[in-house]
Each structure stands twice: as C-alpha cells, then as structure tokens.
Structure 1
Amino acid sequence: MSIQPHSFFSGALYARKSCFVYVPAGYEQSEQRYPVIYLLHGMHGSESSWMLKGNAEQTLDQLMNNGELIPSIVVMPSDGGYGQGTFYMDWYDGTGNFEQYFIYDLVPEIDMHYRTINSGDQRVLCGLSMGGFGAVSLALRHPERFGAAASLSGGLVSSQHLREQYARSDVGRMIGPLHGPYAESYDPQLVANLRMQDGRRPALYMNCGTSDYLYTMNQDFHQHLKTIGYTHTYEQFEGEHNWTYWKEHLPDALRFIQSYLAH
C-alpha cells in the first residue's frame, strides 16, 4: 500500500489543486479495477489532514489486510482551500465553485488516471465535521455519482440550526437568503426528503461523540431520517470533537462502507 500525491488543474476554480491517493497492495502489479473512497477533511484542514493527523494510511492498511475492507483506491482531496472551509459547496455569492470542482474536476481526474470502477455504486464518500456535511451533501445531491456516504461528527446543518448565527458569519455568502431556494437546495434534511420522493437513496452512515458540540445536530438529522423513513445507520460513542475520536472511529465508518460495497 502506498500514498501518492496527485496534482491537477481545476477549471471550476481556475487553479492548480492536489490530493493524496492511497492505492491498495498489488495495485502496480495488476490490471484490476477498484472502488473509490473519497475521504474528506474538516474546517481548517487540508488534503494532508487525514494522512498526518488521522492515521488513515495505517487504518486502511490494517482493515484491508484483515479482510475488513475490500481493496480500494482512497482519495484525500482539498475542499478547495478557501477561507476557513468551503463545505464542498458552490457559494451563493460567486466566491468559488467548490462543488463543481469536486464533481466535474476531481472525480473525472481520478477516474482518468487510476484504475477505478467508474460507476456511481462503486464510488463512496466519508468525512469528518465539515467533511461529514460534504460527504452527505454530495451524495444526496448527486445520487447518480455516489452510492454511499459516511459522516463522523458531521456538521449536518439544516436551516433551523443556522438562524442564530446566520447574520454573524459567512454562511450568508455560502447559501444566500436563509429561506431561499438556494439555501434549501443544500439543507440535508430537505434534500433527503427529495431522495425519498424519487427513490434515489444513497446509503447513509453517521456516528458522533456524545460529548461533541455537534451531537444535537447529528441527533436531529438521525431523527429526521427516521421520521421520513430513510433507512440509514447511526451510532454514537463517548467522545469529543477531536482527532482522538476520529482516529478511533474511522474504522466504524469504513466497516459500514465495506458492508455497502460487499452488496
């Protein structure tokens, strides 16, 4: 197993970007194609966060060696690198097309240069905090491109959570009017409702620490999915919003991804 840096040009952002790509054992010696896991970082992070702080390479090695995770290509990308965090969204005020960068630049780049199984049901997302929101949002908004999403301590923020902080942050720049159609198109609860209506439902997994400041937000999203009948997996453990928790519970998210890919 090894991690390789990969640089490419993003037309959506008109900028050079880079990511780190984990390839499984035997990749160089075979012609096999592999499913792809996109591992997303949180606020203030970068494409190197999971590798340097999250013990990702060792965790992936261990799970694949033990047969607990199917050999996969794992991509650790940047969120686009703007401000404190882009939330993997196209910003309402035109600051940056960070969702288009991910969907139309990054994903095709990986499929072009690595032996992926180029199919939505073999392409999954996993992320922490802001990256948890990104994983769930991208999967729900693009169910034809991603078959599953896993969130650790996700910032699964809906309109109801934004009311108090909306005027005092850059949230308005991201989503525009709080009750407008653009904001609604990124509200994970409302997008989940749409997926229930059209039947295109990516498999969803969430876990969160019970001492995490985002615990209530995760509980709310879990309860909403239960209410609308969206089958999903939710787990909670003791822990806070930190790398100690994410390193310990990344394997839980990856085992869910394994259960999805195995079927």
Structure 2
Amino acid sequence: MTVRPHPFFSGALYARKLCFVYLPDGYEREERDYPVIYLLHGMFGSEAHWLLKGNAEQTLDRMMAAGSLRRCIVVMPSDGGYGTGTFYMNWYDGSGRFEDYFIYDLVEDIDKQFRTRKEPGGRAVCGLSMGGFGAFSLALRHPQLFGAAASLSGALTSTAAIAARYARSDISRMIGPLHGPYAGEYDLQALASRRLKEEGRPALYFNCGTGDELHGMNAAYREHLESIGYSHKYEEYSGEHTWDYWSEHLPDALGFLESYFASCD
C-alpha cells in the first residue's frame, strides 16, 4: 500500500493545496476503478493528522488485508487551512469558499488524476469532530456525489444547538444570522429532513464516546433521525474526545462504509 502527497490548485481559494492519497495494493498493476473515501480532520488539524495521530494507514492496511474493507482509494485533505477550522463550508462573510474548494477543486482533481468510481455508490466521506460535521454536511448537501457519510464524535449541529452553545463571532462569520436562511442551509437536522423523501439520500453512520463533550449533540441528532424516520446507524462506546477513541473506532465507521459499498455492487 502507498500513501503519497498530492498537490493541486484550488480555484475557489486561489491557493496551492495538498492532500494525502492512500492507494491500495494492486492499484499500479490493475486497470480498474476504485471506490473513494474522503477522510476529514477536525479543528486545529491538518491533512496529515489522520496519518500522524490516527493510525489511518495501519488501519486501512489491516482491514484490506483481512477483507473487512475492500481495496479503495482514501483521500485525506485539508479543510482549506483557514483559522482554527473551516467546517468545510462556504463562509457567510466571504472569508473563503471552503465547500466549493472541496467539491469543485479537490473531488474533481482526484477523479481526474486517479482511477476512481465517480457515482455516489462508489464515493463516501468520513470525519471526526468538525470533520464529522463536514462529512454529513457535504453528503446531505451533495447526494449526487456522496452516497454515504460517517462521523466519529461529530459536531452534528443544528441551528438551535449553535444558538444555545456557540453563538460567538466566528460562528456568525460562518453562517450569518443564526435564524437566517443561510444558517438553515447548513443545519444538519433540516438537511436530513429535506433529504428524507429522496430515494438517493445518503446512508448515515455515526458514533460517539459517552464521556465526549459532544455526546449530547450526537444523541440529539439520533433522536431527530428517529423522529423523522431517516434510516441510520448510531453507536455509543466508552471514551472521550481523543485520538485514542478515534483510532480505536475508525474501523467501525469504515466497516459501515464497506457495507454501503457492498449494497451498491
């Protein structure tokens, strides 16, 4: 298996960016397309953190060797590299179009440079904490691209949760007025409700530690999905908001994505 740095240019950010790409054993020998998983970091993180702190390469090697995850391409990108974290969103105040960077620059370049499956059934997104929000937001806002999303200890916010806990200047810069239309476009509960009646709605998986500061937010999101009848899988484990937890439970998220890929075969 190979992990390589992959530089590319983002027109949305007008900047040179870098991601890391995991290529499975046999990629160089075989002429076929592979499913793709995008693996997102959290706040204060970078494109290198899943490799340096999360043991992602070792986990992928082990699962693919054991057959619990099919051979696939795994992309570990930056969130755009602005401030302490971009939430993979286009910011209301114009600071940066970090969602456009991801959708129109990163995904397009990966599909151009590597042999990828380009339908939703062959593309998924997974992340931790802020990256969990990013995974659900990107999938629910772009179901034509991502067929499944997985979150570990995700900041699975609704507008109500932001108003209660996170009404500070940087959040306002991201989403504008808390009860305005722009904020509503990134409300994960509203997005799930909006996608509910669509046949191509993303498959959702999330887990969280019972000692995690975001546990209540995850439990509330599970309750919302149950109340509207959106099929999903949610799991709880002992643990806190730490790399030990995310390293241990990344296989649970990847196992769900494998089940999703299998259902699309």
Identity value in percent: 65
The equivalent of 1:112 in structure 2 is 112
How much has 1:32 moved relative to structure 2?
1.8
1:160 CA displacement? 1.1
Aligned-pair CA distance for 1:199: 3.6
Aligned-residue offset at 1:243: 0.2
Deviation per CA, 1:37-61: give whole Å up to 9, x if none.
Answer: 0000000000000000000000000
Deviation track 1:67-96 (CA, whole Å, cap 9, x = no partner) reads 000100000000000000000000000000
AA matched with 2:192: A
The reply on whether 1:168 has 2:130 as its aligned counterpart is no
Most deviating of 109-118 and 163-172 = 163-172
Q: Scaled by the length of structure 1, what TM-score is found?
A: 0.98
Write the distance in 1 (CA, Å) between the matches of 2:162 and 2:41. 21
Counterparts of residues 120-135 of structure 1 (less than 5 Å):
120-135=120-135
2:100 equivalent to 1:100? yes
Structure 2 contact 147–200 (Cα < 8 Å) conserved: no
Deviations 1:88-113 (A, max 9, x none): 00000000000000000000100000
Contact 1:93 1:173 in 2 (8 A): yes
Spell out the pairing of 1:140-219 with structure 2 (5 A cutoff): 140-219=140-219
Distance 1:193 1:164 in 2: 21
Q: Structure 2 CA distance, aligned partners of 1:140 and 1:168?
A: 25
CA contact (8 A) 1:7 1:17 kept: yes
| Local SS of the residue matching 2:22 | strand
Question: Per-residue CA shift, 1:178-227, capped at 9, x if unaligned?
Answer: 00110000000001010013343100000000000000000000110000
Letter in 2 for 1:105: D
Determine helix, strand or coil for the equivalent of 1:68: coil
Partner secondary structure for residue 75 of structure 1 = strand
**Root mean square deviation of aligned Cα:** 0.8
Instruction: Return structure 1 stretches of 4+ with deviation > 4 angstroms.
Output: none
TM-score, with structure 2 as normaliser: 0.98
Match of 2:4 in 1: 4
Secondary structure at 1:127 match in 2: strand
Partner of 2:22: 22
Structure-1 residue corresponding to 2:41: 41
Alignment-derived partner of residue 53 in structure 1: 53
Are 1:138 and 2:129 an aligned pair?
no
Give, in angstroms, the shift of residue 166 of structure 1: 4.4
Paired residue for 2:81?
81
* Contact 1:166/1:172, CA 8 A, preserved across alignment: no
Report how many residues are paired: 263
Unaligned runs of 5+ in 1: none
Instruction: Say whether the 8 Å CA contact 1:40–1:126 is kept in structure 2.
Output: yes
1: CA distance, partners of 2:136 / 2:236: 17
Q: Secondary structure at the match of 2:20?
A: strand
Cα distance in 1 between the residues matched to 2:30 and 2:122: 19
Q: Show structure 2 runs of 5+ residues with no match.
A: none
